[in-house]
Amino acid sequence: MEPRELLLTAGRAVAVYVLMLVVIRLTGKRTVGNFTAFDLLVALMLGEVVDEIIYGDVTFAQGTVAIVVVALLQYMNSWMSYFNHGLDKVLEGVPSVVVRDGRLERDGMRKERMNEKDVMAELRLQSVADVREVKLATVENDGQVSVLREDWAEPLQKGDVKGKGEKGGGADEERPSRRTDSPEVLQ
């Protein structure tokens, strides 16, 4: 390959990098966070277009038009989901309940193609040792499992425990009037 061709490829890569940085900043944080199915589709499409531009298979102008159109579709999708016209269920999906009131929900597990071992592994990642501790566990649209514990299973906080002859910690106790980590206290 000629040095001129390598320099053109490097120049296209820099231009596409800047373009994608602008597009990602404009489409919002969700684009780089946890992906929904639509977000993954957008990322795959953009990756393919970027590849074509960098290697010169399409012109920079053609690639830019494709990137901008895909970014606009993503932007419109997020607004349609925000306004909740019912399209959000089609575009983003709905969470699936896999545990309710300490019992496995087989329908939700089937929908997500999760077996009992998969559910228990996800619960352990949330520091849940026993399924009976779970009030509700759902597979969210981005694939993450969120867990709400039963009240009795919530971990103790420092404010929940009051030692013998010790001041502090009780729920009935008055809180300090100012923060203890404020600049005035730390000086």
Q: How confident is the model at residue 45 (pLDDT cuts 50, 70, 90)?
A: confident
Query: What is the spatial distance between Cα 135 and Cα 164, in angstroms, rounded to a whole number?
Result: 32
67 with 109, same domain: the answer is: no
30 lies in some domain: yes
Residues 6+ apart with CB under 8 A from 169: 158, 159, 160, 161, 162, 163
pLDDT-derived band at 173 (thresholds 50, 70, 90) equals: low
The span from the CA of 38 to the CA of 91, in Å, is 7
Residues 108 and 147 in one domain: yes
Q: What is the pLDDT of residue 175?
A: 55
Number of domains the chain is built from: 2
Contact 54, 12 (CB under 8 A): yes
Distance in angstroms (rounded) separating the CA atoms of residues 176 and 29 = 36
- Beta-carbon contacts of 111 under 8 Å, excluding residues fewer than 6 positions away, are 96
Q: Is residue 108 part of a domain?
A: yes
In terms of pTM, does the model score above 0.75?
no
- What is the mean pLDDT of the segment spanning 57-86? 81
Strand partners, 149: 134
At residue 183 the predicted structure's pLDDT band, cuts being 50, 70 and 90, is very low
The residue from 69, 89, 109 where one domain ends is 89
Whether residue 157 is contained in a domain is answered as no
What range does the domain containing 62 cover?
Answer: 3-89
Domain identity same for 104 and 58: no
